[in-house]
Each structure stands twice: as C-alpha cells, then as structure tokens.
Amino acid sequence: MTPTAAVTLNEAQRDCYQEIANVAMGQAADRLARLLDVYVELPIPRVNLIEASDLHMALQEARNDEGLSAVCQGFIGSGIAGEALLIFNDTSVQDLAALLNYQGQRSPWTTEELLLDVSSLLTGACINGIGDQLGIHFNQGLPEIIGRGRNAAEILQSGPYPWHKTLAIEIHYSVEHMNIDCTLLLLFTEDSVPKLNKKIDFLLD
C-alpha cells in the first residue's frame, strides 16, 4: 500500500476534482429530474482529503438529522477503488415514494426497493460520469442498504471503511419546492488517491 505520507491533495488538484464531480453530478441530476419530472438543485460539490477518524464528523456535518437511511455501493477500476454512500432522511423517502407512484401502504420491502432504485440511478450515473472523464471503467457492486431510521454514527458503524485517509467527494441533491434531499459521499481508498492524482495531473498539464 502507498505510504500515508504520499497521500496528498493540492489546490489545483482539488479544483479539478471539483469540476469533474460537478459534471458527473449534473449528469446524475438530469436522470433524476427526468425520472421525477422535477427540478433538481445542485450546490457546488465539496472535495477533501480526510482522516478516517474525521469521516464521522464529515458525515454529521453533511447530515445532522435523525431518521436517516443509507445505501452503500462499492466500485473498482484500473486499480482505483472506493465506496459510494447515499444518505436520505425519512421525509425524502416519503416524498420520493409519492412522486414515483408507490401506491398504498408501504412495507419495509417496498421502501427498500425505492431506496435501491434511486441509489442505483444517482450513484451509478455519478460514478460513470467521473470514470468517463478520467478514462476509467468502474465495475460497480450491488447497492446494499446499511441503515434505516438511524443516525450518522450508527450508519458509519455499518460501513466498510478500513483505510486511514480517504478522498471524500460530497455531493448534495435537493428537489425544488419539496422535502426531498440526499447526500452522496464518494470515498476513495487511501491507496487509490496517488493513482487518481496522476490522472488529474495529466488533465492539468
């Protein structure tokens, strides 16, 4: 594994990651907008190199509410790997179900189906969008629900995060005039960061 000391991120690289994430999140938002027939609001994505011990703080900052549901999905390609963590609050799930015409009383099974469907759309489009810009084909694992009606700390305890440092790209989606919002965290493994930085440096040259 690449030594932790070699895992760095300068401002030019951060700006480039941010622009790449911005394009990818726009593609994902377009798919969501078409599916729901709504306008999706997109703030600027945040890019940070953080210690694993700070991941809890980063997640709480992104989602400090209770009653969260989370879907985790792994991805890997060209020696670069990571986990995508998509987090919803309960109100978002209820409104999404209404927009997608999930009729009648929802069971735990139908709610999980809804979470997995939306996660596959948003996460898949975003990962593919980043991969296309960097010339990487990412193979994606199956999405897995790792939390329902939980808080940020409980969600993190359920996730597979064995590294010391991670490149975290935080993307927030919200639907105009509705209580629908979710946070997508793309977490690249520590030994993936130097390989990613090489591709970013190539784009910057």
End-to-end CA distance of the chain: give it in Å, rounded: 27
Q: Is residue 34 part of a domain?
A: yes
Q: Is residue 161 part of a domain?
A: yes
CB proximity list for 19: less than 8 A, separation 6 or greater: none
Q: Note the pLDDT of residue 150.
A: 75
3-state helix, strand, coil in the chain (%, to 5): 50, 25, 25
Q: How confident is the model at residue 109 (pLDDT cuts 50, 70, 90)?
A: confident
Q: Could you tell me the CATH number of the domain that includes residue 156?
A: 3.40.1550.10
CA distances from 204 to 11, 23, 78, 190, 200 (A): 12, 16, 20, 22, 6
What tokens were used for 80?
């670069």
| Number of domains the chain contains | 1
pLDDT at 104 over 90: no
Q: Note the pLDDT of residue 23.
A: 97
CB proximity list for 100: less than 8 A, separation 6 or greater: 35, 36, 114, 117
Q: 143 lies in which domain range? A: 8-204
Mean pLDDT to the nearest integer, 117-138: 94
